[in-house]
């Protein structure tokens, strides 16, 4: 970053400190999103795994009891949450690459706010998640997914909130272990797979043993998955939607708090 840019960032704007902070977030966001816009193949590749699940696993759920009228109405929202968990959960790997190449150190010595660095990166991950979620929803419409516009919009907004939290947690983890990529992946997968399997994304937890259903109640992503399914069914007033919104807000708040703390404590 040039001296001219750094000076512009730190100069007070019309909105004072808040306006200056928003400009910094915008600068970081633009820096992070530019490669995706130039080479969008990463966005497409990020959709391949969930599409494989939908194409190969989804038809097996047809006629399974406990899924409601349409198995696609039950399965697609869960897969979108899975994208939020695994897609944004891997976002911290970029920090590891930057740390290994030395570019992270150059960013850390700029006068940019450490909070703006974290939030700008996280917003890029959230936008990518939003685009992927919207595209997958549209792609599944011809296969039988009924699109309730208001419910889908609310579901995607909820997904973005979750993505902010998970992405921030991923960045926090990467900053804590930035010299050990293998440790990053080990911790990430150790945490995410149990959360995925006990949230009922792939199969209804209620069909399993009682102890599994009890464990799922302590998983915040269970409430997010239930909320997404209610919203995609067009039931915006369902209690599950409210519980899911609270769970998503908690994930985002904890993730941002830990991510900003990790960024502020990051050393060169």
Q: Give me the mean pLDDT over the 77-97 stretch.
A: 88
Which of 184, 212, 185, 211 lies closest to 198, judged by CA?
212
Between 107 and 129, the higher pLDDT residue: 129
| Contact status, residue 89 vs residue 188, Cβ threshold 8 Å | yes
pLDDT at 10 over 50: no
DSSP-assigned letters across all residues of 16-51: HHHHHHHHHHHHHHHHHHHHHHH-THHHHHHHHHHH
pLDDT tens readout for residues 124-167: 999 989 998 999 999 888 888 899 999 999 999 999 999 999 99
Residue 13 — pLDDT band, cuts 50, 70, 90? low
Percent above pLDDT 70 for the chain: 90
Least confident of 25-39, 143-157, 211-225, 251-265: 25-39
Go through 128-164 and write b for each residue having 16 or more CB atoms within 10 A of its CB, e for each that does not. bbbbbbeebbeebeeeebeebeebbebbbebbbbbbb
Q: Could you give the CA distance from residue 218 to residue 221 in angstroms, rounded to a whole number?
A: 9
Q: How far is CA 159 from the centre of its chain?
A: 7
Please answer whether residues 111 and 6 qualify as being in contact, where contact means their C-beta atoms are separated by less than 8 angstroms. Answer: yes
Name the residue among 180, 176, 164 with its Cα closest to residue 119: 164
Q: What share of the chain is helix, strand, coil (3-state, %, to 5)?
A: 80, 0, 20
Tokens at 68, concatenated: 């409601």
- The 3-state DSSP class for residue 13 equals strand
Only one residue has tokens 């703006």, namely 116
Taking the C-alpha atoms of residue 12 and residue 60, their distance in angstroms, rounded to an integer, is 58
The pair of three-digit structure tokens given for residue 159, joined into one six-digit string = 């997904």
Indicate the average pLDDT of the chain: 84
What is residue 266's three-state secondary structure?
A: coil
Band the pLDDT of 179: cuts 50, 70, 90: confident
What average pLDDT score do residues 66-84 get? 84
Q: What does the pLDDT read at residue 205?
A: 83
Q: Which pair of structure tokens corresponds to residue 148? A: 């309730």
Domain spans of the chain, in order of start: 17-264
Question: DSSP 3-state assignment of 236?
Answer: coil
When mean pLDDT is compared over 25-34, 84-93, 140-149, 235-244, the highest value belongs to 235-244
Does the pTM of the predicted model rise above 0.75?
yes
Q: Which of 151, 141, 149 is nearest to 231 (CA)?
A: 151
Which stretch, 159-168, 181-190, 198-207, has highest mean pLDDT? 159-168
Whether 1 shows a pLDDT value over 50: the answer reads: no
Number of other residues whose CB lies within 10 A of the CB of residue 38 = 7
């Amino acid at each position: 970053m040039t001296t001219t840019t750094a000076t512009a960032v730190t100069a007070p704007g019309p909105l004072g400190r808040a306006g200056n902070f928003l400009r910094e977030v915008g600068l970081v966001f633009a820096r992070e999103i530019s490669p995706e816009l130039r080479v969008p193949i990463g966005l497409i590749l990020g959709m391949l795994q969930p599409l494989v699940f939908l194409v190969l696993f989804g038809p097996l759920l047809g006629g399974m009891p406990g899924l409601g009228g349409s198995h696609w109405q039950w399965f697609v929202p869960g897969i979108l949450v899975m994208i939020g968990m695994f897609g944004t959960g891997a976002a911290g790997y970029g920090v590891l690459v930057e740390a290994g190449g030395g570019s992270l150190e150059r960013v850390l010595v700029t006068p940019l706010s450490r909070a703006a660095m974290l939030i700008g990166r996280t917003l890029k991950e959230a936008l990518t998640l939003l685009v992927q979620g919207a595209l997958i929803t549209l792609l599944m419409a011809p296969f039988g997914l009924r699109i309730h516009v208001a419910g889908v919009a609310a579901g995607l907004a909820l997904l973005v909130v979750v993505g902010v939290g998970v992405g921030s947690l991923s960045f926090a983890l990467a900053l804590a272990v930035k010299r050990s990529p293998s440790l990053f992946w080990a911790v990430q997968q150790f945490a995410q797979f149990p959360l995925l399997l006990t949230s009922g994304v792939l199969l209804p937890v209620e069909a399993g043993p009682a102890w599994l259903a009890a464990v799922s109640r302590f998983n915040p992503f269970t409430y997010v998955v239930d909320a997404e399914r209610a919203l995609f069914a067009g039931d915006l007033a369902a209690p599950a939607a409210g519980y899911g919104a609270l769970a998503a807000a908690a994930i985002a708040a904890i993730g941002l708090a830990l991510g900003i703390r990790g960024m502020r404590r990051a050393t060169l």
